[in-house]
Amino acid sequence: MKKQFVVIGCGRFGQGVAKTLCEYGHEVLVLDEDEEIIQEVSEYVTHAIQVDATDESALKSIGIRNFDIAIISIGADIQASILATLIAKEEGVKTVVAKAQNNVHAKVLYKIGADRVVFPERDMGIRLANSLVTSNVLDYIELTQDYNVVEIEAPKDWVDKKLSELKLSNRYGINVIAIKQGDNINISPYAESVIQKGDILIFIGDTESLRKLED
């Protein structure tokens, strides 16, 4: 199901989020006060607008309340980050995800209504985007540009079936490298391993193959 995202602030983190969301076919609006950045990102997002993220009237006129998810990825300006988060929540955006610089910043963001707070780290933008658009994915780790590890909860129609019956390698081109069953972890499970309700499966594979699994 396609969603509408607004990314406020488009540094490295924001660009990572916006690009990945667009690759999944979602509608993405990027807002930033830097005209050069807007011109650059406009090539790969649905819309890109130069605007001050702390200007409440401007955000209202853009129709921010109509977006499913707002990602506040403003850089070092903590005050602007807080104000943009507050405006997004007051305007009725259902889910607001904000980037924090430190623990104190994170606490403030949660206090004013942020639904999720993330901290900058390598490739975090890409991991966040994947987790937002694929509800069955519990974690997503990019090993290289084309090779990833994905952790998902076993779908209902896989329960009580052996790995050999599912033929995941043939169907999706992916391999199960581990199965979590409660506190136990089965490393390199056998073809005869049976999937149980609540199992967490960890896959490794190329990007395109894993996306077929997520669909």
Question: Does residue 60 have a pLDDT over 60?
Answer: yes
Confidence of residue 151 (pLDDT cuts 50, 70, 90): confident
What are the tens digits of pLDDT across the range 85-111?
999 999 999 999 999 888 889 899 999
Residue 127, CA atoms < 13 Å, CB-side half-sphere: 18
Whether 133 has a pLDDT exceeding 70, the answer reads no
pLDDT digits (tens, 9 = 90+) for 69-83: 999 999 788 999 999
Q: How many C-beta atoms lie closer than 10 Å to residue 18's C-beta?
A: 27
How far, CA to CA in Å, does 167 sit from each of 74, 161, 182, 188, 205? Answer: 44, 11, 24, 15, 14
Asked whether 97 and 124 are in contact (CB, 8 A), the reply is no
- Write down the pTM of the prediction: 0.63
Mind spelling out the 3-state secondary structure of 2-66?
CCEEEEECCCHHHHHHHHHHHHCCCEEEEEECCHHHHHHHCCCCCEEEECCCCCHHHHHHHCHHH
pLDDT above 90 covers a percentage of the chain that reads 43
Q: In the CATH hierarchy, which top-level class contains the domain 4-118? A: alpha beta
Residues 140-167 have a mean pLDDT of 78
Q: What is the pLDDT of residue 195?
A: 92
Higher pLDDT, 138 or 35: 35
Domains of the chain: which residue ranges? 4-118, 123-212
Residue 204 has what pLDDT?
Answer: 78
| CA–CA gap between residue 171 and residue 57 (Å, rounded) | 50
Q: How much is the pLDDT for 110? A: 94
Kindly report the number of other CB atoms within 10 A of residue 47's CB atom. 14
Residue type, 65: R
Q: What is the CATH number of domain 123-212?
A: 3.30.70.1450
Average pLDDT, the chain: 84
pLDDT digits (tens, 9 = 90+) for 116-129: 888 765 445 666 66
- Gap between the Cα atoms of 107 and 130, Å rounded: 25
